[in-house]
Structure 1
Amino acid sequence: MAVDGDTFAMLREAVRRFVDERLIPAERRVAEEDRIGPELIAEMRALGLYGLSIPEAWGGLGLGMAEEVEIAMELGRAAPAFRSAVGTNIGIGSQALVLAGTEAQRRRWLPGLASGEIVGSFCLTEPDAGSDAASLRTRAVRRPDGAWVLDGTKRYITNAPEAGLFTVMARTSEAPGAAGISCFLVERDAPGLSLGRPDRKMGQQGAHTCDVILDGCVVPADALLGEREGEGFRVAMRVLDKGRLHIAAVCVGAATRLIDEAVAYGRTRRQFGRPIAEFQLVQAMLADSYAETYAARTMVRDAARRRDAGETVTLEASACKMFASEMVGRVADRAVQIHGGAGYMAEYEVERFFRDVRLFRLYEGTTQIQQLVIARELIKRAG
């Protein structure tokens, strides 16, 4: 933990007020315009949200995992686009550098990522490589002068339209599976790098994705993360536990917001002469939603503390991500149901959240991938 308890309590309260007073009131405008206004981005930078997990030595706040998930739960109460704006810098966009970067690479990139001056983007998924990430086809070939030439297409890359730094996974040898994959730090203006059109998505307007196209993209020798080949995929996997816990915490925040919306509507909407919140079947949906959210919150906090204590939490992180992302989908569905026909209308926030939270079951590993990880880890521990 980089900050004392009182300082962290003030940070969390500041984030909570920022969410309530600035982000939530801006949600509808962000969804309609499909962009977060520069004034809000500036405020997020000033709060230090881009550098939550980056060590203080490089300009960040250096929060531990237990602290980070608390902030993620607060951010999760607002539309997911806001959290997404800072998410890559908090996660794989910076943590690969923290874990495996050279001193020169850290000095060059981490301060800008921590301040939000540079937006990071993580490029792993391809048209034919998603859950089976080890099958990626993007290639990097070393030239005689030491520079690397990258060729391939990355798909659904979060924050790519705004990114200044792309962390790119590419195959550097014929070694099977993950052993032949390396990680490269590619600047936005690297020759041969171009972007596709922004994707049109089901939800999460204001959070942008697009293809990243590498066509004879030339990067210098020192763009290889850590200057060691064949380590990229292993580094990415080491960061996944952290990313899955972070997403699980965001799901808890979204579920908390949905419950608040459902309770508020249930208290004011009247049928048969009384508020619908007095009807037992509505109360049952509220009770189930609260109990599941409470369970997910407890899971996330426990796994985060274990990670901070130095434990390997691959099993726990996957369980948290699987349970929390499925849970928030159920809570969103119940919130729409409690709203009745109004819940299907864009006038109410639950309609947008219903679409937004669907993505949580897909990225950072689908639910089905989490099931495989959980089973694998259980078998490994038993052995």
Structure 2
Amino acid sequence: MHSVNFPLPGEQEAPIDYFSRWHANVAPTGLYGINIPSRYGGLGLGHWDRFEAIADMSRRDTSAGAILQSVTLGTGMFLSASEQLREMWLPKLATGEEIATICITEPKSGARIGSLETTLSPALDEGYVLTGSKQFIANAHVGTVHGVIAKRASSDRSALRHTGVIVPSRSAGVETGAVDDLDGLKHFNVGGIRFNNVRVPAEHVLLGNKGLQLAHRSITLFGKLNLAAVAYGALLRSWDETQNYLSSDTGRAKQLEQIGAIRGLIGEVQRCISESRALCFSAAHSIDCGEPEEDLILAAKASTVNHAISGILACISIMGARGGSAAAGHVTRLSDVIQTMAPAGTESVNLAQLSKFALGKYKEVGIYGS
């Protein structure tokens, strides 16, 4: 992927304001549709291409990379929609005319899909009514169409299953809540969305009652590697800054590269970079081949975030007191990477899933469109 020019955020710039400037520069490049097939106006590229694009942008600014991962994540649910809905929405998502979100997490249940309280109920006349609240939603205030996972009540209200629905943000009853003040990724829009008796036509329901599969598919095939890419890009930037210091007059005068302890730290940074890249490439390649190896995807998310934290800490140690300076940016990037730990599963969640894989109890989600 070629580098894309985009504006860097102002120090005190609000996330929503920054998104507007970023969007005006990035949307025309087609990156929003990097994984959208060309027949719908997308670039038709693979999951590894998406990883590299997000990592490259994160290497220059972590919040910008987080925005790119969020808008490309949003297309994941729409790729599993009916052909009619794909034709309706994907061309607009590819150009950035529409901006998608994925609404799964809630105030009380977090990302535990089985405990969600947002409900899709049959309307008295036709269609459905969506009621509930979502929290920690990327692009909550700038998204124009929401992919929402909800419990689905049967006509006799006796059974509840899960489904996905498409809800334009302009629909009556859709309200945004507060903007989350993240301690890291300061220029990335995250917040809450409320759905107050929102009317949903039947044709906007995705995959019938397979909402659990739809959510799992979106998080696994898109979200995990997206967030790994953000963390990986942040690590690369910290290593860039560290190399600049080592080659500076001060770094050369200290002969830091000749000190055994420093060489060990440099080797640790390179190990973190090499292992992350190899694992993420293998995971993305499996998806691109149509046979997702979900153990690799789970491991890629957990390991890459951990490697980014370890690698940035090593960069701080290499630079000594200068490593903690605002000019070096390591501490800010460390806070940014910490914000990638929870979304798409913390390390403990991913390890629990890997234990199921090891014991033969893991349920694979398969490729979208199947």
| Residue 282 of structure 1: aligned partner | 262
- Separation in structure 1 between the aligned mates of residue 300 and residue 219 of structure 2, nearest angstrom: 12
Shift of 1:365: 0.9
Q: Residue by residue, what CA displacement relative to the aligned partner does 1:140-191 show, whole Å, maximum 9, x if unpaired?
A: 11112222222211111100110100111111138xxx97111111111111
Mean Cα deviation higher: 247-256 or 319-328: 247-256
Which TM-score applies when normalising by structure 1?
A: 0.86
Q: Residue by residue, what CA displacement relative to the aligned partner does 1:256-285 show, whole Å, maximum 9, x if unpaired?
A: 211111121233373895243443222221
Q: Percent identity?
A: 23
| Residue 233 of structure 1: aligned partner | 212
- Separation in structure 1 between the aligned mates of residue 63 and residue 251 of structure 2, nearest angstrom: 35
Q: Are the counterparts in 1 of residues 140 and 191 from structure 2 also a CA contact under 8 Å?
A: yes
Shift of 1:206: 1.5
| Residue 46 of structure 1: aligned partner | 28
Q: Are the counterparts in 2 of residues 259 and 335 from structure 1 also a CA contact under 8 Å?
A: yes
- Separation in structure 2 between the aligned mates of residue 260 and residue 254 of structure 1, nearest angstrom: 10
- Separation in structure 2 between the aligned mates of residue 76 and residue 276 of structure 1, nearest angstrom: 28
Let me know the Cα RMSD of the aligned residues: 2.4
Q: Residue by residue, what CA displacement relative to the aligned partner does 1:340-370 show, whole Å, maximum 9, x if unpaired?
A: 3333333332122111111122111111111
Correspondence for 1:126 among 95, 106, 109: 106
| Residue 6 of structure 1: aligned partner | none
| Residue 368 of structure 2: aligned partner | none
- Separation in structure 1 between the aligned mates of residue 14 and residue 206 of structure 2, nearest angstrom: 33
- Separation in structure 2 between the aligned mates of residue 179 and residue 338 of structure 1, nearest angstrom: 55
Shift of 1:39: 4.5
- Report SS of the residue matched to 1:109: helix
| Residue 367 of structure 2: aligned partner | none
- Report SS of the residue matched to 1:242: helix
* AA at the equivalent of 2:79: V
Shift of 1:313: 1.3
- Separation in structure 1 between the aligned mates of residue 116 and residue 361 of structure 2, nearest angstrom: 29
| Residue 318 of structure 1: aligned partner | 298
Q: Are the counterparts in 1 of residues 219 and 344 from structure 2 also a CA contact under 8 Å?
A: yes
Alignment of 1:1-383 (within 5 A): 12=1, 14-15=2-3, 18=4, 22-23=5-6, 26-27=7-8, 29-35=9-15, 36=18, 38-91=20-73, 93-99=74-80, 101-173=81-153, 180-226=161-207, 228=208, 230-243=209-222, 244-268=224-248, 270=250, 274-380=254-360
Q: Are the counterparts in 2 of residues 198 and 210 from structure 1 also a CA contact under 8 Å?
A: yes
- Separation in structure 2 between the aligned mates of residue 173 and residue 339 of structure 1, nearest angstrom: 58
Q: Are the counterparts in 1 of residues 177 and 194 from structure 2 also a CA contact under 8 Å?
A: yes
Return the structure number with greater helix share: 1
In structure 2, list runs of 5 or more residues that go unmatched. Answer: 363-370
- Separation in structure 1 between the aligned mates of residue 21 and residue 71 of structure 2, nearest angstrom: 19
Q: Are the counterparts in 1 of residues 69 and 227 from structure 2 also a CA contact under 8 Å?
A: no
Change (3 A) 1:269 1:353: farther
In structure 1, list runs of 5 or more residues that go unmatched. Answer: 1-11
Mean Cα deviation higher: 114-123 or 330-339: 330-339
